[in-house]
Structure 1
């Protein structure tokens, strides 16, 4: 049966994305296409590249993941949420948590990302 409730959103061309939130929604839609082995460390590297491109091109955008000298607001929120701090970064720690919980790391990341966006002070809601 194919109904509106079963319809899956189609991927959008990169030219139609307006910010990192749109980019992450494309990754959520098809993580296997974007992340080799569903690795959050690959996602972290992509987001660092995204941030570097923002700096090179002078783009101002709310960005929760990384800035030179800081792991970013998402990592700071995650450390409070987990009750510990890690110099290894948010990707490694979420992968570790996912392994312990027996859930896919990408799934846990998006659960945490949604939670962060709903409740983190100053977190952009889109």
Structure 2
């Protein structure tokens, strides 16, 4: 599901990723390899593991995907919702019928990054 404006369109080994967004671009390129059934809940679990690994290894890297962090706040503001749902559940619940939750996630990530730059 790469797009023309994707910052990274070349498959590489996960160990060569430089940050969470680089890793997400690898998932974008091959979602079926990373996410059984293209489940956004699986992506949420992968990113939870990523965040835990940052903490375990004392790596200081910005991480916007924790439940109360910037991406979830941005998503609720953008959608005009106030919910205790995490970002994955919110996206699954509100994905337009002509899209998929994974495609919607990456569309939203691109918008979030563009607005946050």
- What TM-score, normalized by structure 2, do the two folds share? 0.87
Structure 1 residue runs without a partner (length 5+): 1-8
The alignment partner of 2:59 has SS state of: coil
Structure 1 residue 101: Cα displacement: 3.0
Corresponding position: 1:89 with 2:80? no
Corresponding position: 1:38 with 2:38? yes
Structure 2 residue runs without a partner (length 5+): 1-8
Corresponding position: 1:107 with 2:114? no
Structure 1 residue 39: Cα displacement: 0.8
Equivalences for 1:57-96 in 2 at 5 Å?
57-66=57-66, 70-96=67-93
Q: Which residue of 1 aligns with 2:27?
A: 27
Q: Which residue of 2 aligns with 1:48?
A: 48
The alignment partner of 1:101 has SS state of: coil
* Equivalenced residues, count: 109
Q: Which residue of 1 aligns with 2:3?
A: none
- What TM-score, normalized by structure 1, do the two folds share? 0.81
Measured in 1, the distance between the counterparts of 2:107 and 2:115 equals 12
The runs of 4+ residues in structure 1 deviating greater than 6 Å are: none
Instruction: Compare CA radii of gyration and give the structure with the larger one.
Output: 1
